[in-house]
Structure 1
Amino acid sequence: MAGIIAPSKLPRCGRPLLCIPVSILVMTANIVLKRNLHACAINPIHDAEGVTDLARRFPLGLWEGVCRDLEPSFEISTYHKYSFINFARMKTLFFTYRNALALLLLFASAASGQHIQSIRFQELVHDFGYIDQHGGPVSYSFQFVNTGDKPVRIISVQASCGCTTPDWTRDPVPPGKGGFIQASYDPKGRPGYFNKSLTVTTDADATPVVLQIKGQVSMGSELAAVSEFRSPMGSWKLKTTSFNMGKVYRKDEFTVREFPLYNGGERPVTFLKMEGPSYIKTEVLPPTLPPRAQGKVRILYNGAERDAYGFQSDRIDIHTDDEDMPVKSITVYATLEDHFPVMSREELQRAPVLRILGSSFDLGKIKQYKDARHVVTLRNDGKSRLTINAVQPNCRCISTELASKELKPGEEATLEIIFNPEDRLGTQQKSVVIYSNDPQSPAQRITFNAYVEK
């Protein structure tokens, strides 16, 4: 029936006190609408001018539809003219009640949708991560607080699976106090991903609260392997947050190292691009890594293009479609040395030889705010010119002064080592590496000790 609202069409209301007045208003409005809409009662008249004036004031076709809904037998006859009793009153009441009911229903629906639970949980989902299927049941306690103004009692906690055992606070929880819902999951014989729920019903709320536990059940060996990935970067898990390339030769080709990778998320992660220096390239295998799967990050490092000696560090940014961390910043370490091809005995006899006179020494006790200095002698014991390519300390607190980078056979040069102990106390162990064109020992180390006092 047009304009009449059936109770079955009303939105479900979560608050009985609100539903009662709304229902009364709806029933009252229905009675009034029916009583006034029956003003469509058909009365034949002969005043054609009056009917024409009525049609001019309001389209007769509209009321034909309204009245036909009320009275299926209603017809507009070409042989009769009809008058509509209380026309103005009927039109006003129809739209007034219709608009009022719409507002009431909207308010009731909004009030129902904004219903606030009387208990508030700290979290609704817990991820156990990887668990061993032979390690026994695992448990987690969901904590909640009674935010209402009266005590709340947990009526029931229904688990979605027999593998999940619930427990909860049995006594009523006073306002402002807390309670718990505990979920215990038995992984025995259930390898793979799991996602279970617990439905919590209280005596304060008609709508239950749904809690969720999830995780991955693994064999013992698989769990041990995955546990090595201790450095999370979004969904990616790495063994370390840096990649150490080790020794890289200064030649025009790429040194390749691979580093294990694990996708600990629930969605595939795709490698998009790498941003970094031109002498470093990156590949991810496979390019799209499925969830709970292992892969590799392959780093290619061109030592000749890097054009440096000793320990070097660079940062690269790996771009992915990982929602948790799209860009992953990783430090790449490398130690660069010259590469010498295999040489014959005769060639080695003619090659330069670096000898360090006093490659280890002790500075003894030194003051914290006074530089300590020591001189080391370098000598070329070979048969050809010796070139010192680089001198690299392992600390910014060390500086060096080399007398000469080129040494003829039998020639010596001094290397002064200056140690600044500022902001350091106690025993100190430092080193300086010398890189030369000695084919048999291209990198040689000088070490020293010191004890810093105030």
Structure 2
Amino acid sequence: MNRIAFALYLVVCTALSPLLLQAQQSEVPKLIWKVNRINIGTVLEEQGLQQTEFEFTHTQDSLFYIEDVWLECGCTSVEYTEDTLNVGESGTIKVSFDPTSSAGFFSKLIVVKGNLAGIQDSLFLEGISIPYPSDIERAYPILRGPLGFRLRKVNMGDVFDNEPKVKYVEFFNRGEELLDKGALRAETPPYIQVSQVQQFVRPEERGLLMVKYDGALKNDLGFFEDIVPMRWENVDGSDLELEIIADLFEYFAPIQKSDLNQVPQLVIAQKEVDLREISANAVVRRTVTLTNQGRQTLEIRKVEGNCECLVVEAPKDNLLPGESMELSLTFDPKGRKGIDQRNIYIFSNDPVNPVQLIVLKSRIE
């Protein structure tokens, strides 16, 4: 390196050093938030202002105070710690949300600006706001005991086994008695919990039921439906049944692209089996080849058809790398006619495609 080039190198390094130092320092957050995103769940319009609190700790040697808090809309208001904080001291941001301002899912941004350089932190308040309907009978047409519901069944959707799923179900008290949270009795299996959110729901008022579904406790895969008997001990004639449906799946953490060839890989030779025209009086049998193209053992967790008319048999539960097996399909079309489609679901430990589908099509004469 000649002298001119070396001199230019020193000039560039000298100019960049403060920037590099500042970048290294900015990696250490000045405020440590307990959480920066809070979901307050489902909120009914008539419940009024909803309040929650964000908590932070100041980590720098310099004195700190909040200069300003910027809000996304007028539907939120805040109170915050106005004291000057030393290192290690904590403060709070108290946020109030008006549910009359929106309908459906909401995510409100709160920006906190401090006196120290680089402090402009973002917080998020999320939830679901449900406005009061103009026609109660039309909004809650499904009658269960003294309650009116929007839908016949509580659909939990996809439930994974890594954490329980919670859903809030709104209802309208069409009875003449006060519904006390402490008097609710629900005969649930171990993997389901049902509770009343509000302490009291008066006649002609709306309320919320919290349904919590634990996929790990259920310890199964596929589609399930549960009937949960419920009643309020202090209310005669309050007996009802809550129908809960859910699709259960095993959770797999994301994997690196470089590891794709190392994990189990289920490959199905034929994902659509067309039987064409068949007789309603003849049982049909077919086979489909399953292969593990990965480098780890493939475990078949479950094989499930969507009809009792379909029998699916797997000769083994594990496939070594490179190994194959024949999946046997037996379809009895008795009592059916016209275009028909049956689904076979295969659950495995393939982390990329843990649930795969085989479709069995036919035209039944």
| Fold in common (TM above 0.5) | yes
Structure 1 residue 349, shift from structure 2 partner: 2.9
Distance 2:135 2:346 in 1: 42
Distance 1:382 1:290 in 2: 59
1:265 to 167, 175, 183: 175
| Counterpart AA for 1:427 | I
Equivalent in the alignment of 2:143: 232
Structure 1 residue 282, shift from structure 2 partner: 0.7
Structure 1 residue 267, shift from structure 2 partner: 3.3
Equivalent in the alignment of 1:249: 160
Superposed counterparts of 1:51-450, under 5 Å: 222-224=133-135, 227-251=138-162, 253-271=163-181, 272-321=184-233, 323=235, 325-450=237-362
> Contact 2:314–2:327 at 8 Å: present in 1 too?
yes
Distance 2:239 2:326 in 1: 48
1:367/1:289 CA distance change after superposition, 3 Å: same
SS of 1:422 mapped into structure 2: coil
Distance 2:334 2:234 in 1: 44
> Contact 2:185–2:233 at 8 Å: present in 1 too?
no
Structure 1 residue 226, shift from structure 2 partner: 5.5
1:225/1:409 CA distance change after superposition, 3 Å: farther
Computed over aligned residues only, the root mean square deviation of the Cα atoms, in angstroms, reads 2.0
| Counterpart AA for 1:335 | D
Higher helix proportion (structure 1 or 2): 1
Equivalent in the alignment of 1:118: none
* 1:247-305: CA deviation from partner (whole Å, max 9, x where unpaired): 11123x42111122111234322342111211111111214212222222211111111
Distance 1:299 1:237 in 2: 17
> Contact 1:234–1:322 at 8 Å: present in 2 too?
no
> Contact 1:401–1:416 at 8 Å: present in 2 too?
yes
SS of 2:133 mapped into structure 1: helix
The answer to which structure, 1 or 2, has the higher relative contact order (CA under 8 A, 6+ apart) is 2
Structure 1 residue 240, shift from structure 2 partner: 2.1
Between the aligned residues of both structures, percent identity stands at 28
* 1:196-254: CA deviation from partner (whole Å, max 9, x where unpaired): xxxxxxxxxxxxxxxxxxxxxxxx97225652312101220112232121111123x42
SS of 2:259 mapped into structure 1: helix
Distance 1:427 1:414 in 2: 26
Any unmatched runs of 5+ in structure 2?
A: 1-130
TM-score norm. by structure 1 comes to 0.49
Distance 1:235 1:324 in 2: 10
Structure 1 residue 408, shift from structure 2 partner: 1.6
Distance 2:330 2:200 in 1: 51
Any unmatched runs of 5+ in structure 1?
A: 1-219
Higher strand proportion (structure 1 or 2): 2
Distance 2:199 2:185 in 1: 10
> Contact 2:140–2:150 at 8 Å: present in 1 too?
yes
> Contact 1:269–1:321 at 8 Å: present in 2 too?
no
* 1:339-379: CA deviation from partner (whole Å, max 9, x where unpaired): 11222223333111111111012111222232111211111
Distance 1:254 1:332 in 2: 15
> Contact 2:280–2:334 at 8 Å: present in 1 too?
yes
Distance 1:335 1:255 in 2: 11
Distance 1:234 1:287 in 2: 19
| Counterpart AA for 1:355 | V
> Contact 2:290–2:326 at 8 Å: present in 1 too?
yes
Distance 1:299 1:351 in 2: 35
SS of 2:139 mapped into structure 1: coil
SS of 2:258 mapped into structure 1: helix
SS of 2:261 mapped into structure 1: helix
> Contact 1:234–1:324 at 8 Å: present in 2 too?
no
> Contact 1:233–1:325 at 8 Å: present in 2 too?
no
> Contact 2:177–2:235 at 8 Å: present in 1 too?
no
> Contact 2:133–2:139 at 8 Å: present in 1 too?
no
| Counterpart AA for 2:165 | T
Structure 1 residue 320, shift from structure 2 partner: 1.6
Distance 1:291 1:352 in 2: 56
* 1:26-69: CA deviation from partner (whole Å, max 9, x where unpaired): xxxxxxxxxxxxxxxxxxxxxxxxxxxxxxxxxxxxxxxxxxxx
